Structures are given as C-alpha cells and as structure tokens.
C-alpha cells in the first residue's frame, strides 16, 4: 500500500540543506504495522512529517519517492494533499497539547474531519463524534465534546488526537509516539483499539516509538533508525530473537527489569551526531563498542542476515553481558531497616469554589489518608494511574503543598506545620527532582548558578565553585557545563542537572517525580545507573513516582500502589510485582507491554476511567471498575489485610 524509496529530506540552514533523513526505503502492506525505532534526533518524526508533506517552513524534500496505492504523493500540489490528509492517511502527533487547537472545542475539531472527509454534519456528525470518543475510552463523551483541550488531562488529550485521526477512516495511520504519556491501562486500551480497527479496516500503520514493549505487542515488521538512516529491518520474530546491529543490541541491553537488578544497565556513550557533522563512514562508529577501522572509512552496505532480516553493519558477533554494580540498599532487608521517612494518614483536600463570592461547595480529595515509610538507602516506588495523587504526595512531603491533615516525620522531626527558617532547614534533608527538567530549571541562570543556588540559600559547604564542579562530575557532565544555559543541553543532560541541583544540599531523601518518563531507553539507562550509583555511594533514599513498571522492577526495593488518593497495596517489590493481591495491581501489571515475544499474557480490562476525586464512589473506591466487586464493596471501604509481614492489600477479598 505504501512504498517509500530512497527518501531524502532535510532542513535549510543558511545556504546549506542539512539532511535529517538520508535515503531510507521501506514498504507497508494493508493490515500491517511497521514500527520505526530509534533515539530522539534520529529522524523518525521528520520521516513521518515528510510522508504527510507536513514539514516545517525550513523543511525540504530533497529526493526520493512516496507512493500510496501507486500514486506519487511528492508530486501532488498542496491543494491535492488536503484530500489525502485526514482522509486516506492520518497522523497521531506526539504532542497532543500543541497539536490541538486551544480555542476550538473537542467536538468542533473532530467535526472538521467528519465534514471534510466523510460529508457528515449536524446530528449525524455528533452521533459519530460520540461514538469515536467512546471507542477511545473517554467517559461522559456528551460533556467532553463541548469542552476545550485545556479542560482535559494529558491522557484524554492524546485520546482526542486519536479520535480525530480515526474520524476520516484512513487507509494509512501514522502514529508518532501515540502512547508515551499514557498510563499502562490507558495505553493497553489504545493499543487494543488500534489493533481492532486495523483488523476491521485492513488499515496500514507506521508506528513510531522508543518503547520496545509496544513494538513487541503491535508490530509485524520493525525498522531501526539511526542518524537519518535505517540500520536494521526485520520481522517481529527475528528482531526480538536475534537483533544483529550493535545499536539495536545496545537498546535491548539498556532496558531495565528485575533480571538486571544489581547490574549496570548498558548505556550508549555520546550523542546522535548533529546534522551538520555527520561522520563519513558508519554513523554509529563513534559510539559503537565493536568499531573497526573500516567503520570510520566506509559506510556499510546492506546484507541479509536471514530471509527478511537485513542489517547495515560491518561487524558480526554476539552481545556482551552487563557488569554488576553494588548498592548499600541491596543489603537492607525490606521492612527491617530503621525508618527515615514516616508518613501517617496524609490528606490533601483542595476546595472547590463557585459563584461570585467563591464559596466552597466541595473538596477534591487528591490525597486521602496515605501512610508509608522509607528506610535510609532504600527506594520506595509509588505507582498508579494519572490523577491518583502521586505527585501531590511528593509535593506535600516537602510542604510545597500544605497537607490538610496527617503527619510527615523525617528522621523523627515533624515537618507538617513548619514554616520559615525551620522549614528551609528541614528541606535540606528532603529534595525533589521534577518530572519536566526544562520547566523546573531557570532559563536565565547558568547551570553553575542553578546548582549553587540551594547551597547558598541553606548555607551548605564552603567553596561553591569547587562543589559545583564535583557535582557535575558526579552526575557525568563536563566542567564547562557550569557556564552554559539549560537550553544548550539534551533532555537527559537536563535531568542530570536537576539531579545535581537536588544533591547539592546533601539530602537524605530524594523525591523523584517521573524522572525518566520522556527519555529514550539509552538516556533512561544512564539516569537509572546514576541514581543506583549515587544510592550506593551516598546512601540516599528515593521516593520514586512512576508508571513505568520496568523501572520499578529494576530500581525499587518496596512498592506502594495508589488509587484515587489512597494506597491500595504495599510491600516489597518482589511481593507486589510477583504476587499482586489487589485487583487494581493485578490489572496494572497485566497491561504492561513486555519487550519479549512470549510477554503477552492475558490482560485484565478495566472498564471506564478513574472516578473524579471530587466525587469518590461510596465503599471501596475501585468497585465501579473491579471485576470482583460485590455488594459489600459498594457499602464499606475495606480494611488493610496482611498478606505477609511486609505485604498489605486493602481489599475485602484478600485472605
């Protein structure tokens, strides 16, 4: 259906055109999913934009051919392309927040596609819109149609984007990281929907992602992209059983999971080369552990390793094993170490105000009675869907959000109620790494000033310049980074800067809020190795807020599962992940895509969405979505029941 031959496209820079995609070729049949893998900056999104003829102003298609059912798209005028876009071919963009029109309602944006490509208007169009929103799992679609994008959560915006893309019933769907920002349950729901629609319509799909679990679940064939070139193309079975290119092998070795606990994850040194400085030979040579002299001199040709499995590499050989790394926390049995942080019955309720006088008419129960404990040098992972209150817990521990009730004790000192100088002194022991490092770093300050700011404010250390250099070295950044600004760094480097800033005041506990959620697997491995090493060297404890269960398996010693403001299950990582007892934990784990051929087990499908914390259900909050719910679940909230000395589940049916 889609035939791409020798596609070359780039971006104008002065009088030069820098090639971002340099001669890639692939084909997609009807009903087939072709996955495009690679790090940020490899040209995956540029390829997708080129196929849709949606390159930015500086973008240039230099050469090649793109044919849809034998029709050459690169020869079409802009007016002719409008009949293809949204109709015969559609795209799910990576950033729904910037792709949706902020001044148009959800219904208006879906309606544009239905009117332009399906000829639907009025009640027929509205009925189809409601059907599309239900298909993508949006509860109460009648209300959502008349809302604006800013009124939706990140996951809901992504689902609206998918509904818009599917509205024209396309023959080809290009999905650019369609599930990156979604929880595992919503991700599984979206992937099931795409697979179902693909089977019904014979729709072809180009799936761009860096999640190997999603690839294992969805793709029929896979292409690995590096620095604007395809370096390996294989069927799903061949790709996961015998990856051949050193770059592909490094991506697999960088994946965290329980089997690599206590081991150093493989990282890929350096960066993807810039468009202005592409190497003459193999573009991966400077980062490749198997590099040979011929690699730097001559670009490798394609060779067929197996029928249908082609690789572009001079080297042939086997993978190397990861080296073990020690951590003081590995020696601490869960639940037997002294307690550093003790949280008891923490509540954070936000008032709902209405009317001219802004009277309080209700409360949002964001955190509703959370209790947890963390030992020195240990990692507690706090997991759950978006909106369950994980980040609010983290901010409430630091008193960035004032708790409504409850106790937060750090090394025996009560933090709740502290203010002014006392609170600043206590915060030296408790720091936070925020989810978006770019938004949390001051763009007007140099990196050295950002790191030294906390030390100066809290009177920590003597020679700030020497301390900054030592911290930069500790997190793997060069000394000259101190004189540069945040925008001059990659996402992974900015996350390292945020870690250095948090470590500058020598805290005993770090609250890590999704610190690896937006990173490539290779950069994620660097950050996880760094956190693991720092824990081993400094004995720092982590509260790790995440929805990535692979990271939990690799890093966490204990796990707490949160649902609608409350902890529903907690225990050691081995107990909670290996023997989940709460139905919600079981559903979460069943939805996690596993990067293996044998990884797809039976999935527990949860109906609907997480209820609003402003109107939590009576009884057990999970009962409207629970497959095991009975009358007692609807009437009474369950007590915590001990599964073992260290494993507790809050469920009526746990014995």
pLDDT tier for residue 325 given thresholds of 50, 70 and 90: very low
CA–CA separation, 356 and 53 (whole Å): 49
Q: How many residues does the chain have?
A: 655
Q: Choose the weakest-confidence range: 240-254, 520-534, 616-630.
A: 520-534
- Specify the pLDDT at position 179: 80
CA–CA separation, 211 and 179 (whole Å): 9
Give Cα separations from 258 to 71, 380, 518, 554, 644 (angstroms).
49, 15, 21, 5, 21
Q: Choose the weakest-confidence range: 98-107, 355-364, 375-384.
A: 355-364
- Specify the pLDDT at position 192: 86
Mean pLDDT of 196-221: 91
505-526 pLDDT, tens digit per residue, is 989 999 999 888 767 888 888 8
- Specify the pLDDT at position 603: 81
More confident: 504 or 439: 504
Residues 158/391, Cβ–Cβ less than 8 Å = no
Task: Give ∠ CA 427-430-433 in degrees, rounded to 5.
Answer: 115
CA–CA separation, 70 and 72 (whole Å): 6
Residues 37/251, Cβ–Cβ less than 8 Å = yes
CA–CA separation, 472 and 587 (whole Å): 41
- Specify the pLDDT at position 160: 92
Beta bridge pairs of residue 396: none
Convert 309-341 to b/e letters by CB count within 10 Å (16 or more is b).
Answer: bbbbbbbeeeeeebeeeebebeebebbebeebb
pLDDT tier for residue 330 given thresholds of 50, 70 and 90: very low
Q: What percent of the chain has pLDDT over 70?
A: 95
- Specify the pLDDT at position 565: 94
387-421 pLDDT, tens digit per residue, is 788 999 999 999 999 999 999 999 999 999 888 88
**Of the candidates 380, 401, 350, 299, the residue with the CA atom closest to the CA atom of residue 561:** 380
DSSP structure string for 40-94: TTSSHHHHHHHHTT---TTEEEEEEEEEETTEESTTS-HHHHHHHBTTTEEEE-S
- List, in sequence order, the alpha helices (H) in 242-352: 246-253, 293-297
Task: Give ∠ CA 194-196-202 in degrees, rounded to 5.
Answer: 90
> What token pair was written down for 370?
């959370």
CA–CA separation, 242 and 306 (whole Å): 10
Residues 74/66, Cβ–Cβ less than 8 Å = yes
CA–CA separation, 35 and 157 (whole Å): 23
- Specify the pLDDT at position 332: 45
60-82 pLDDT, tens digit per residue, is 999 999 999 999 999 999 999 99
Q: Is the pLDDT of residue 24 over 80?
A: yes
334-367 pLDDT, tens digit per residue, is 445 689 999 999 999 999 888 888 888 888 899 9
DSSP run (H or E) holding 303 = strand 302-306
CA–CA separation, 617 and 563 (whole Å): 12
- Specify the pLDDT at position 324: 47
Q: Is the pLDDT of residue 306 over 80?
A: yes
Of 154-158, 438-442, 597-601, highest mean pLDDT? 438-442
- Specify the pLDDT at position 547: 82
Phi-psi category of residue 158: left, alpha or beta, with phi > 0 → left and psi -120 to 50 → alpha:
alpha
Q: How many CB atoms lie within 10 A of CB 133?
A: 23
DSSP run (H or E) holding 383 = strand 379-383
- Specify the pLDDT at position 234: 96
Q: Is the pLDDT of residue 384 over 60?
A: yes
CA–CA separation, 360 and 91 (whole Å): 43
- The pTM of the full predicted model, rounded to 2 decimals, is 0.83
CA–CA separation, 298 and 162 (whole Å): 43
pLDDT tier for residue 599 given thresholds of 50, 70 and 90: low
CA–CA separation, 161 and 100 (whole Å): 7
């Amino acid at each position: 259906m889609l035939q791409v031959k020798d596609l070359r496209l780039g971006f104008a820079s002065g009088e030069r055109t820098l090639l971002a995609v340099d001669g890639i070729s692939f084909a997609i049949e009807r009903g087939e999913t072709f996955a495009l893998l690679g790090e940020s900056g490899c040209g995956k999104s540029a390829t997708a934009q080129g196929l849709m003829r949606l390159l930015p102003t500086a973008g240039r298609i230099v050469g090649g051919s793109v044919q849809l059912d034998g029709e050459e798209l690169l020869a079409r005028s802009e007016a002719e392309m409008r009949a293809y876009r949204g109709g015969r071919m559609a795209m799910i963009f990576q950033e729904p927040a910037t792709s949706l029109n902020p001044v148009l309602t959800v219904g208006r944006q879906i309606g544009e596609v239905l009117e332009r490509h399906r000829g639907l208007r009025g009640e027929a169009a509205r009925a189809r819109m409601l059907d599309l929103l239900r298909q993508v799992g949006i509860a109460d679609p009648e209300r959502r149609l008349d809302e604006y994008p800013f009124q939706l959560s990140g996951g809901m915006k992504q689902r609206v984007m998918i509904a818009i893309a599917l509205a024209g019933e396309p023959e080809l769907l290009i999905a650019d990281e369609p599930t990156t920002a979604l929880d595992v349950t919503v991700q599984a729901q979206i992937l099931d929907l795409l697979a179902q629609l693909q089977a019904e319509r014979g729709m072809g799909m180009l799936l761009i992602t860096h999640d190997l679990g999603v690839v294992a679940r969805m793709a029929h064939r896979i292409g690995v992209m590096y620095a604007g070139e395809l370096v390996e193309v294989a069927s799903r079975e061949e790709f996961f059983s015998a990856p051949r290119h050193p770059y592909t092998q490094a991506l697999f070795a960088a994946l965290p999971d329980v089997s690599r606990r206590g081991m150093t994850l493989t990282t890929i040194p350096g960066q993807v080369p810039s468009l202005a400085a592409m190497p003459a030979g193999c573009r991966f040579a400077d980062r490749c552990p198997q590099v040979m002299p011929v690699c730097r001199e001559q670009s490798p040709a394609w060779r067929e390793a197996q029928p249908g499995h082609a690789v572009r590499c001079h080297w042939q050989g086997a993978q190397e094993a990861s080296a073990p790394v020690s951590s003081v926390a590995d020696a601490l049995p869960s639940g037997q170490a002294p307690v550093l942080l003790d949280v008891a019955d923490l509540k954070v309720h936000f008032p709902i105000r209405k009317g001219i006088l802004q009277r309080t008419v209700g409360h949002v129960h964001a955190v509703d009675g959370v209790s947890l404990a963390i030992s020195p040098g240990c990692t507690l992972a706090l997991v759950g869907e978006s909106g369950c209150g994980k980040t609010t817990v983290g901010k409430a521990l630091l008193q960035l959000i004032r708790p409504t009730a409850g106790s937060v004790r750090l090394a025996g000192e009560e933090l709740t109620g502290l203010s002014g100088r006392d609170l600043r002194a206590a915060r030296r022991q408790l720091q936070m790494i925020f989810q978006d490092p770019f938004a949390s770093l001051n763009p007007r300050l140099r990196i050295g000033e950002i790191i030294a700011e906390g030390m100066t404010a809290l009177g920590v250390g003597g020679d700030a310049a020497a301390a900054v250099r030592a911290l930069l070295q500790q997190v793997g950044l060069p000394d000259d980074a101190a004189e540069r600004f945040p925008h001059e760094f990659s996402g992974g480097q900015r996350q390292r800067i945020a870690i250095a800033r948090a470590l500058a005041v020598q805290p005993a506990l770090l609250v890590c809020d999704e610190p690896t959620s937006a990173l490539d697997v290779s950069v994620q491995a660097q950050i996880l190795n760094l956190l693991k090493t720092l824990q081993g060297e400094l004995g720092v404890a982590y509260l790790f807020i995440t929805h990535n269960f692979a990271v939990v398996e690799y890093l966490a010693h204990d796990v707490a599962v949160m649902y609608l403001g409350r902890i529903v299950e907690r225990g050691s990582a081995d107990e909670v992940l290996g023997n989940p007892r709460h139905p919600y934990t079981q559903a979460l784990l069943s939805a996690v895509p596993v990067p293996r051929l044998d990884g797809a087990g039976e999935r527990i499908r949860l109906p609907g969405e997480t209820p609003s914390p402003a109107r939590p259900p009576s009884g057990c909050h999970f009962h409207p979505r629970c497959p095991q719910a009975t009358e007692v679940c609807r009437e009474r909230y369950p007590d915590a029941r001990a599964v073992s000395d260290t494993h507790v589940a809050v469920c009526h049916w746990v014995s």
